[in-house]
């Protein structure tokens, strides 16, 4: 069993990864947020966008290969696909990554996807910008405090397009605005029921 959790910044990926790993007896693989470029990126996105995305891509490839090599039941916080179709694509369209850098990035990404198994189930945490901002502020990472609404909205649009039109695997959408899986065990129970029904199909 290989489940990956996708969603915008502040959508609750890490929290759900932790809950599902415990409830399903799976090994959790968390997103590495210690990217050496992340603070520089939020200070100057144009200068550091390519460096940030390549660093995340390399980290994600290494994590996925290692996790899948261990076998068993896996829950992964964020996917390699999001790096390309959400974040790198958005930076390119905003003029924060050059065409040359974006093409180089996508070539590396496409080579990488051939090395990694697609998840048995992708859980997409769908959240409004208001919910994302509230949760970002609650967790209090200093480098995220300057993220603006427009940036989060653009990412949300990218996620919707990716889930609906690009991603080819099995997807479970969780409406985070109306589902508090952290504080309400019944909401977590419903997600697990849906996971089991999707994986049994």
**Of 34, 44, 77, 180, which residue is the catalytic one?**
77
C-alpha–C-alpha distance, residues 57 and 49, integer Å? 12
Is 77 tagged catalytic? yes
Helical segments of 25-173, H only = 38-43, 45-70, 80-82, 89-93, 99-113, 129-139, 149-161
Of the chain, the end-to-end C-alpha distance in Å amounts to: 13
User: For residue 88, what are its two tokens?
Assistant: 């790198």
Backbone angles phi and psi of 184, in degrees to 5: -120, 105
Give the residue numbers marked as catalytic.
77
């Amino acid at each position: 069993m290989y489940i990956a959790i996708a969603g915008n910044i502040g959508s609750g990926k890490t929290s759900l990864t932790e809950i599902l790993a415990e409830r399903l007896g799976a090994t959790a693989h968390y997103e590495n947020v210690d990217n050496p470029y992340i603070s520089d990126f939020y200070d100057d996105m144009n200068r550091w966008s390519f460096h940030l995305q390549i660093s995340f891509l390399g980290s994600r490839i290494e994590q996925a290969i290692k996790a899948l090599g261990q076998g068993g039941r896996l829950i992964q916080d964020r996917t390699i696909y999001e790096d390309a179709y959400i974040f790198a694509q958005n930076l390119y369209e905003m003029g924060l990554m050059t065409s040359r850098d974006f093409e180089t990035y996508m070539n590396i990404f496409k080579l990488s996807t051939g090395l990694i198994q697609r998840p048995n189930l992708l859980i997409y945490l769908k959240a409004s910008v208001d919910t994302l901002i509230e949760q970002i502020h609650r967790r209090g990472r200093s480098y995220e405090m300057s993220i603006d609404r427009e940036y989060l909205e653009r990412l949300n649009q990218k996620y919707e397009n990716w889930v609906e039109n690009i991603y080819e695997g099995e997807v479970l959408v969780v409406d985070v605005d109306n589902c508090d899986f952290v504080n309400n065990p019944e909401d977590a129970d419903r997600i697990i029921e849906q996971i089991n029904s999707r994986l049994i199909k």
